[in-house]
Amino acid sequence: MLRTTLSLRERDSLPFISAGPRIITDFMSTPSKHRSGHFRAFWQSVTEGFELHQLWGQFVSEARASYRLFSADVDWNEIDSRSHGPKRLVGAIWALFKALLMMLTPSRRVLLLLAIVLLVMPESIHLNRIPNFSFQIHFRGWGIAILFVLLALELADRVTMKRDLEIAREIQEWLVPDHPPLVPGLDIAFATRPQNTVAGDYYDAFLRPVPVQDTGKQPLLVAVADVAGKSVPAALLMATFQASLQALSATSGTLDEIILGLDRYCRAHSLDGRRFTTAFLAEIDVDTQDMQYVNAGHNEPILRRASGVVERLSTGGPPFGIPVFSQTVAPYPSGRVHLQAGDVLFIFTDGVVEAVNDRDEEYGESRLLHCIQSAPSESANATLNRVMNEVNAFVGPARQFDDITSFVVRVSTLRQH
């Protein structure tokens, strides 16, 4: 039988025992201010500075997003037709559990089922059939251990995927400008907020490297596009769209020819129209500030004149990549406007107006129009921050389901040809 008491000499001869009281004494002798400071620093690193109500709002938002993900694989019509009342609740829970289970690998499905079985079994059993030998099995302890192993495996997968996505985001950041071009008479600003690590929104502004054949000038090309879908698939198509636009704009073709080339490319790679692209493209003559534009199924940009009058730029055609069922491809008509000093052009993707808060309310175009109309005479960056901050304040911690991109062009001075 093992002795549970040790003599003073025996205790001091064991370093890990004799050191224990000293460690506890040292910890207790640490000033309480230092201990509270260490705890606050630890809590700040865990919560990343969020308040409790913000953490709760984030949890609710993530829980709703997870429910939407799992419920997408559930046949709710079958559940409604076969059961009612409590049976329907049980059927819904079972269907959601199966949807969650099937998202795991086969080996992890087995481990999860084994853990659940162990957790519902009696807490422990004693085995003493062998003389002078007995041991106890704690089923729930093993079940909890298996759940922790599953959690560690899923976190490892998430970390690996996150690293890959971070690399993809770095590559994607090379495809869009990190700062606006300096163009006399124009003040430009832009910002994006991806729904995930990578995004399907694209924006750019640059002076065309080759003079246009009709005018002999190098206009400013402005582009904002939104690929259908989200995350990696949309980001890959966004990269190909960027490459196509850069290649076409390096020729002496007109804006109309660039638009037709983009549409041909998108139709060839749209997976029968499932991956279409909405876009707004414009060329601005930096001397006269005349603008030619084409709206390819995109949200209508807002042109707020210096007088306060608001115009919407809608001239164009359907999104790029929509299948056509005839031999002749209809050309995209283009619109023309003359920009004047004090005018503000606001281009955005649908993620701005479709941003939702924790009550599932959309930000909407009415709020956006009011924000643009009420903006004072300010820089493009100030207008951009005004809109993005208002959208962020509206949605709060609610998780978004689309990328958010805003692009502002402000005419600072009137230039004559």
| Phi-psi sector, 365: left (phi>0), alpha (psi -120 to 50), beta | alpha
Mean of per-residue pLDDT scores for the chain: 81
What pLDDT does 11 receive? 41
Domain locations in the chain as residue ranges: 7-49, 181-411
How many Å apart are CA 330 and CA 239, to the nearest integer? 26
pLDDT interval class at 9 (50, 70, 90): very low
CB-based contact 227:298 (threshold 8 Å): no
CA–CA separation, 301 and 160 (whole Å): 39
- By the 8 A CB rule, do 323 and 270 touch? yes
The answer, yes or no, to whether residue 126 has pLDDT greater than 80, is no
Q: How many Cβ atoms from other residues are within 10 Å of residue 20's Cβ?
A: 12
C-beta atoms surrounding 169 within 10 Å: 15
**Does position 385 have pLDDT exceeding 60, yes or no?**
yes
CA distance 198 to 171: 10
- Mean pLDDT, to the nearest integer, of 261-272? 81
* Start-to-end C-alpha separation, the chain: 103
pLDDT at residue 17 tops 50: no
- Which of 181, 216, 193, 141 shows the shortest CA–CA distance to 348? 193
In the structure, what pLDDT confidence band is assigned to residue 44 with cuts at 50, 70 and 90? confident
Better-scored residue on pLDDT, 46 or 373: 373
Residue 275 confidence (pLDDT): 78
Q: How confident is the model at residue 130 (pLDDT cuts 50, 70, 90)?
A: low
Confidence (pLDDT) at 136:
61
CA dist., res. 134 & res. 180, Å (int): 76
Distances in Å between the alpha carbon of 100 and those of 50, 65, 96, 157, 162? 29, 13, 6, 16, 21
Whether residue 90 is predicted with pLDDT greater than 70 in this model: the reply is yes
Q: Which of 146-160, 318-332, 366-380 has the lowest mean pLDDT?
A: 318-332
Pairing outcome for strands 220-227 and 201-207: antiparallel
- The four Cα atoms 241, 175, 209, 244 give a dihedral, to 10 degrees, of -20
The reported pLDDT for the residue numbered 3 is 40
Q: Which of 417, 152, 102, 154 is nearest to 287 (CA)?
A: 417
**Segment 53-66 mean pLDDT:** 76
The residues pairing with 348 across neighbouring beta strands, listed in sequence order, are 406
Q: Over 90: is that where the pLDDT of 228 sits?
A: no
The two tokens of residue 121 are 């079994």
Judged against a pLDDT cut of 90, whether residue 301 lies above it is answered with: yes
**pLDDT recorded at residue 325:** 63
Comparing 96-100, 107-111, 310-314, the range with the smallest average pLDDT is 96-100
Confidence of residue 43 (pLDDT cuts 50, 70, 90): confident
The mean pLDDT value for 26-41 works out to 65
Distance CA 70, CA 14 (A): 55
pLDDT digits (tens, 9 = 90+) for 353-372: 999 888 889 999 999 999 99
Long-range contacts of 163-170 (CB under 8 A, 24+ apart): 165/196, 165/197, 165/198, 165/232, 166/197, 168/197, 168/198, 168/232, 168/235, 169/194, 169/197, 169/198
Give me the pLDDT at residue 64, please: 75
Determine the pLDDT at residue 290.
94
pLDDT of the residue at 8: 41
For the sheet with 344-348, list strands across it.
186-193, 404-411, 344-348, 302-304, 310-312
Lowest mean pLDDT: which of 63-77, 191-205, 247-261, 298-312? 63-77
Q: Spell out where 228-321 has E strands.
A: 277-284, 290-296, 302-304, 310-312, 316-317
Rounded to two decimals, the pTM is 0.70
For residue 375, give the nearest of 298, 308, 296, 290 by alpha carbon: 308
Helix runs in 250-326, H state only: 255-268
The pLDDT value recorded for residue 186 is: 94
State yes or no: pLDDT of 23 exceeds 50. no
Q: Give whichever of 101-105, 106-110, 190-194, 404-408 has the largest mean pLDDT.
A: 404-408
Could you please state the CATH topology (level 3) that the domain comprising 181-411 is classified under.
Phosphatase 2c; domain 1 (3.60.40)
Contact 258, 246 (CB under 8 A): no
Work out the pLDDT band at 333, boundaries 50, 70, 90: very high
Query: How far is it, in rounded angstroms, from Cα 65 to Cα 230?
Result: 14
